Amino acid sequence: MWDLDPSQLRLDMFSAGELINRQGLLDYSGYDYLGNKLGTDVRFEDFFTSRDADGRRTFVVAPQQPIYGAVFLQDKFSYKDIIFRLGMRVDYFDANTKVLRDPYALYEIENAKDYYNRIGKEKPTSISDDYSVYVASEESDGLVAFRKGDRWFLPNGTAVSGGNIIYQGGLVFPSYAGKTQGRTLKIQDPNFDPNTSFIDYKPQVNFMPRLAFSFPISEDAGFFAHYDVLYQRPPSNSFSSALDYYFFQDISRINPDGAALNNPNLKPVRTVDYEVGFQQKVSEVMAMKVSAYYKEMKDLIQQRVLANVAAPLNSYKVFDNLDFGTVKGFSFSLDRRRTNNLEINATYTLQFADGSGSDANSSNGINNRGPVRNLIPLSFDERHRITTVIDYRYGSGKAYNGPRIGSTNILEDFGISFTGFLVSGQPYTRNLNARAFGGSGFAGSINGARLPWNFSADLNVQKRFPVTVSKTSGKKMWFNAYFRVQNVFNTKNIIDVYKFSGDADNDGYLQSSFGLDRIRGVAQTGRDVDAFLDAYSWRLLAPGNYTLPRRMYVGVILDF
């Protein structure tokens, strides 16, 4: 056996092809396989065409270089007693990469127009030109079905409920474009043309109008409303390189765990926001505000299972713009402006957040037979929230109205504030079966259980001190000393629980039949059962199911 020192080994002892064919050994983008940074002129298709001076493929992977642009115009004007604020934002987003022509096949599928022209028959009027053609075998032209996007059709053009109806009749094959011209349909072939499988990402131009207006109802009351449209660039799971697609037909090799693949063809997420409200003077120092809001979220990112995909894939998971959600609520606030040094604000919010998925992975395991789009409470739904801010503060200079020692204002620029939060628990899904440190299966509906209410309070004490820097100019700097306490009452709030037991401290596993079998197994092998139970208990306390305990901070902020 040879003894090798790491200094004797170098990556350049291997070619790029030798290393990437051991998929999982390395991954890279924006750099070559040796770690050298690539120029910004490298493109997606260079992965398939680039070669070194000796003619060997270099498999360069282009960096992620999306293109963004935005223009925003706004104007504010009055008409009689109505104050308008109008705006328009235009966003441009280009992922600046290649995407699959068709997520159902790695190679281009022949469309209905080309198919009928090739076989010399007239296309039925009920069949659109861009329908993808499916045949009985790779060598056959026997028509079996059509597909347009996610919709499937019989040969006569009749729509069916899904591709499973088509595939129940036996094997179905795409009729690949160019197959009669000898086109190469192997992505790992040196002569593969990437343009047969990939097209440019279609740039997205999004218009976001914004309208807000307010007008007085009386001398002591007013009405306000706004309407906004917002777009957000894909926040996650949006980058796939040519290297990822190189092993696409052997997906179990690049993704043995069956996780969802990133999708560079994701579109921006859209939010439409409405709010109307009313504010009223209650007294000379107090006012109230009542508002109702409604928010629509569309094209949210979610996992999906693409079934009835061309062999050998057959099916795979991918992220797509599938989910939607709505947030609607009511808010009531009471404001007491600062009088005798005291200012108070209290707000109560009632909110309902429902949708088809809480995050990009929330549908993992439940979309195997097609996208599930049932409205459920979203995981961030807080039904009730009460917030109170009490601030007691002394002013400075002529505004100071506190105690004095001689001519010294001892509490000048001194303040103390208290902030309290009372929030109802967020939803979660109960598990049906006990597992160690977790669970499996669904007990009841998704997000059908709730965590307990949480209460927290923070305290902040501040004192501002002036220090004269220059006596001649009178220039000063300020030291703002503070003492801050978070969770001042040291409340032990539950923010998560074990989903089988609904308990923050106990997962219920050791009390179940599975856990009792585990304990018997420990005893039968001669190990210390008490040591096992102690170690298991320590692990149960590790997940962080509670908020942090009381924390205190002391510091100084320097202002010039």
487-502 pLDDT, tens per residue?
Answer: 999 999 999 999 999 9
Structure confidence by residue, pLDDT tens digits, 213-241: 999 998 899 999 999 999 999 988 999 99
Amino acid at 259: A
Structure confidence by residue, pLDDT tens digits, 5-38: 777 788 888 888 888 877 667 788 998 888 889 9
Q: Is the pLDDT of residue 78 over 80?
A: yes
Both 395 and 523 in a single domain?
A: yes
Structure confidence by residue, pLDDT tens digits, 236-263: 899 999 998 998 887 766 676 778 899 9
Both 404 and 480 in a single domain?
A: yes
Q: What confidence score (pLDDT) does residue 365 get?
A: 67
Q: Are 376 and 414 in contact (CB under 8 A)?
A: no
Q: Is residue 123 part of a domain?
A: yes
Both 44 and 160 in a single domain?
A: no
Both 107 and 58 in a single domain?
A: no
Can you point out the beta strands (E) in 12-64? Answer: none
Which residue has tokens 């894909």?
Answer: 234
Q: Are 543 and 463 in contact (CB under 8 A)?
A: no
Q: What confidence score (pLDDT) does residue 351 get?
A: 96
Both 443 and 491 in a single domain?
A: yes
Both 447 and 547 in a single domain?
A: yes
Q: Is residue 366 part of a domain?
A: no
Q: Is the pLDDT of residue 169 over 70?
A: no
Q: Is residue 82 part of a domain?
A: no
Q: What confidence score (pLDDT) does residue 371 get?
A: 66
* The domain boundary residue, chosen from 39, 63, 87: 63
Q: What confidence score (pLDDT) does residue 542 get?
A: 82
Residue 238 DSSP one-character state: -
Both 58 and 143 in a single domain?
A: no
Q: Is residue 557 part of a domain?
A: yes
Q: What confidence score (pLDDT) does residue 493 get?
A: 95
> Which residues share a beta bridge with 323?
300
Q: Give Cβ neighbours of residue 517 (< 8 Å, ≥ 6 apart).
A: none
Instruction: Give the C-alpha separation, 341 to 359, whole Å.
Output: 45
Q: What confidence score (pLDDT) does residue 24 get?
A: 63
Can you point out the beta strands (E) in 26-161? Answer: 67-79, 82-94, 98-100, 132-135, 143-148, 151-153, 159-160
Work out how many domains the chain is built from and give that number.
Answer: 3
Q: Is residue 257 part of a domain?
A: no
Both 404 and 462 in a single domain?
A: yes
Both 188 and 51 in a single domain?
A: no
* The domain boundary residue, chosen from 176, 198, 220: 198
Q: Is residue 304 part of a domain?
A: no
Mean per-residue pLDDT, 160-177: 83
Mean per-residue pLDDT, 496-525: 92
Percent of the chain's residues with pLDDT above 90: 57
Q: Are 107 and 196 in contact (CB under 8 A)?
A: yes
Which residue has tokens 């009313």?
Answer: 278
Structure confidence by residue, pLDDT tens digits, 127-160: 899 999 999 888 888 899 999 998 999 998 888 8
* The domain boundary residue, chosen from 198, 227, 254: 198
Residue 12 domain boundaries:
1-63
3 state DSSP class of 289: strand
Q: Is residue 207 part of a domain?
A: no
Q: Is residue 354 part of a domain?
A: no
Both 49 and 139 in a single domain?
A: no
Both 37 and 137 in a single domain?
A: no
Among 355-359, 421-425, 534-538, the range scoring the smallest mean pLDDT is 355-359
Amino acid at 100: L
Both 461 and 516 in a single domain?
A: yes
